[in-house]
Chain A
Amino acid sequence: MLAPNSDYLALQNLYSDYATCLDDGHLEEWPEFFLDECEYRIQPRENYERSLPLSIMWLESKGMLKDRVYGVRNTLYHDPYYQRHVVSAPRVTRIAGGEIRSEANYLVLRIKRDELPEILNVGRYIDTVRETPDGLKFKARLCIFDSELIQNSIIYPI
């Protein structure tokens, strides 16, 4: 399915565009990186590795992603902050059935007003990506984080 170079570049761009969207604070565009039927979760590594299903954020459809954006914008009172993603090049683990399985390490910094930068979250994306007429979209994006002890809160998606 994937020819070398150009298709890998498309995947790399998906990762980069996703990170840029969040770093720029364009939350309303974030759900558009996903299929309508999709899964997004932010889950501590200890739960993931012990097959404990709890996540700190578990969204099961694009509708739920949109609701999260609305919730963050309109209901969830929080200290304002920038975030900055540093994401490794995706590692393709499997291509089959019209889907790409890929993973990447990520480091997300949080920068609050008048504070020094701090590590908000560090972990691994585990992704399922599909090709659509509008380009590559996430069918699933799992953010499995090593930084199990969270410095207070995580408001925006990562």
Chain B
Amino acid sequence: MLNHDDSSAIPQWTHDGSSRIPFWVYTNPTVYERELERVFYSKHWNYVGLEAEIPNHGDFKRTKLGERSIILARDADGAVNAVENICAHRGAQFCRERFGNNKEFLCPYHQWTYDLKGNLLGVPFRRGLKKGGEVRGGMPADFSIADHPLTKLKVAVRNGVIFASFDHDVEPLEDYVGPEILPYFDRTFDGRRLKVIGYSRQRISSNWKLMQENIKDPYHVGLLHTWFVMFGLIRGDQKSHLVMDAHGRHGVMASTREAVDGGEATKGLNSFKQDMKLNDTRIIDIKPEPWWNGPTVVMLTLFPNLIVQQQSNSMSTRQIMPRGTGAFDFVWTHFGFENDDQDMALRRLRQANMFGPAGYVSADDGEVLEFCQDSYEQDTNHIAIAEQGGKDWGPSNHVITENVLRGMYAYWRKVMEI
């Protein structure tokens, strides 16, 4: 592993608490290296996929945990394995397809083969090539096949959702998610069989943390996203609550749609369009589902790399994969349930117009994150303010607040020792 961690390269965090965030947390390479080590590669679970993506024996999916390429594979016994996509021999990233099916992994360079658990099976000419009574080559006598598996990750699957960690001592997933957040996770993922309906992939030129912050910040939702406000999908005056785990690292925003008209939440809003009417309302034609149990919107952030979206009938997981300080890849996996009827399947697809890289309420998030990163890179000593609703963090019964974001930085400072 790279080890550039030099504390002297990290500036001083000058304010108390986590309500004033210096720009250098988004730009400093030493901070970033430490994040990879402490947040992505140890002590944390990362979302890596859905079981529905690899239903059959031999199905595999290539993805990333942090910056590292990994492969998920469905084993013969039904278990999900995760291995790093680095051949033990010369280090080639041998798996190139995003999805496929094979019963073993083969590195094309020298044809070393591995089983789906990552155990090394075969090394060509391990005993050398016999020709005319002579043996040419061969691995040294002390070379042990058993000592050279692929790097294996620890895997946890909960109700169809797959998490992985390079750290085999990571706490159990349920403890990691925590008793406050777990019921919201299980609300969507209660064991029903999921059906993947497609992918969207973005590369956004901002630090990865800004994406977590964006979803942990309900203050912006009724302001930036005119579309939401206009159709009452999310508004500042709706019945809402925010939940965090004991560490402040994970968060939930749950909100319930109410009648659509003007009112307090729209007064003085430049973005509010009183006269906005759709020619075709199918995109916002929402059918309540019994399992919602109230909230029409639940946005869940699991630190460090997952957002689970239930916005009306549209659902997705959004996976964050950092690429240096100033960019991350963002993969949306939209899904429904296997027992959805045709009407519900269509609603989920139509409402997906609001989300993703062209979405009415998501494309603009990516845009503003880039605007922020532009500034952060110009003057790393500048400091951002996150004091809507106070300076502390904790649960809330409204959304005019940045407290969930402050919770994340309280935790981040502790883990990062910054």
- B-binding residues in A (CB < 8 A): 42, 44, 46-47, 52-64, 66-67, 70-71, 74-79, 148-155
Contact = CB atoms under 8 A, between A and B. Distances in A.
A151 B196 CA distance: 23
* Highest count of chain B CB atoms <10 Å: which of A56, A76, A77: A56
B224 interface: yes
A63 B203 CA distance: 31
Interface stretch (B275-283, B305-313, B383-391): B275-283
Contact of B334 (A54, A61, A67, A154): A54
B408 to A, nearest CB: 23
A72 to B, nearest CB: 9
Interface in B275-306: 276, 278-280, 282-283
Contacts, number: 119
Main secondary structure on B side of the interface with A? mixed
Interface stretch (B117-125, B236-244, B256-264, B359-367): B359-367
Contacts of A149: 201-203, 329
Interface of B: 98, 196-205, 224-227, 230, 271, 273, 276, 278-280, 282-283, 329, 334, 345, 349-350, 352-353, 356-360, 363-364, 366-368, 370-371
18 contacts: A52-B196, A52-B197, A52-B199, A53-B349, A54-B197, A54-B349, A57-B353, A58-B352, A74-B276, A76-B364, A78-B367, A148-B199, A152-B202, A152-B204, A152-B367, A152-B370, A153-B202, A155-B363
Contact of B366 (A56, A61, A152): A152
A150 B370 CA distance: 14
Nearest to B357: A150
Given A58-B353, A60-B282, A75-B227, A153 B360 contact: no
A153 B366 contact: yes
A152 B334 contact: no
Given A78-B363, A78-B367, A79-B370, A63 B280 contact: yes
B320 to A, nearest CB: 14
Given A64-B283, A152-B366, A58 B349 contact: yes
A60 B225 CA distance: 23
Contact of B360 (A46, A53, A75, A154): A75
A150 B200 contact: yes
Contacts of B226: 74-75
B230 A56 contact: no
A47 B358 contact: no
B185 to A, nearest CB: 23
A75 B273 contact: yes
A31 to B, nearest CB: 9
Among B205, B271, B360, residue most surrounded by chain A Cβ atoms (within 10 Å): B360
Contacts of B357: 56, 150, 152-154
